[in-house]
Amino acid sequence: MPKPSEARQRAILERLDKFSRFTDSNIAIPFTNIKIGAEAVIGLLPVVGDAVGL
């Protein structure tokens, strides 16, 4: 099995970094310096939020 190239590995890590920023601290609360992630907002929905977050 061929090993992934370094450029491909960097692209994968960049995508994972963007995804983690989205889920952890993407949404700014208006008039504050506080940011929350999409995961926290999605988690507010009782059952559907847990399924989507998974």
Token pair, residue 17, equals: 């970094």
User: Residue 35: what pLDDT?
Assistant: 87
Given pLDDT bands bounded at 50, 70 and 90, which one contains residue 2? Answer: low
Domain that holds residue 32: 6-53
User: Within a domain: residue 20?
Assistant: yes
pLDDT surpasses 90 at 21: no
What domain count does the chain have? 1
φ, ψ dihedrals at 43, nearest 5°: -65, -15
* Residue showing tokens 């977050």: 53
pLDDT surpasses 80 at 36: yes
Helix, strand, or coil here: 46? Answer: coil
User: Within a domain: residue 45?
Assistant: yes
User: Within a domain: residue 1?
Assistant: no
pLDDT surpasses 70 at 33: yes
State the pTM of this model.
0.61
Average pLDDT, integer, range 3-30: 87
